[in-house]
Amino acid sequence: MRSTKAISAVERLKTRTGNASYAAISMPGGYFYLVERSAEGAKKLSEPMPMDDFVAFVNAREPGKPRKVSKLDLAMEEQIGRSGKRTSGAGQ
18-77 confidence digits (pLDDT tens):
889 999 999 998 899 999 998 888 899 999 999 999 999 998 887 766 677 788 888 888
- 69: DSSP letter: -
How many other C-beta atoms are found inside a 10 Å radius of the C-beta of residue 65? 9
Predicted confidence at residue 49, as pLDDT, reads 94
User: CA 8 from chain center: how many Å?
Assistant: 11
- Give the CA count within 13 Å in the CB-facing half-sphere of 43: 8
Residue 88, burial from CB neighbour count under 10 angstroms (0-12, 13-18, 19+): exposed
Backbone phi, then psi, for 20, in 5-degree steps? -85, 5
Predicted confidence at residue 92, as pLDDT, reads 46
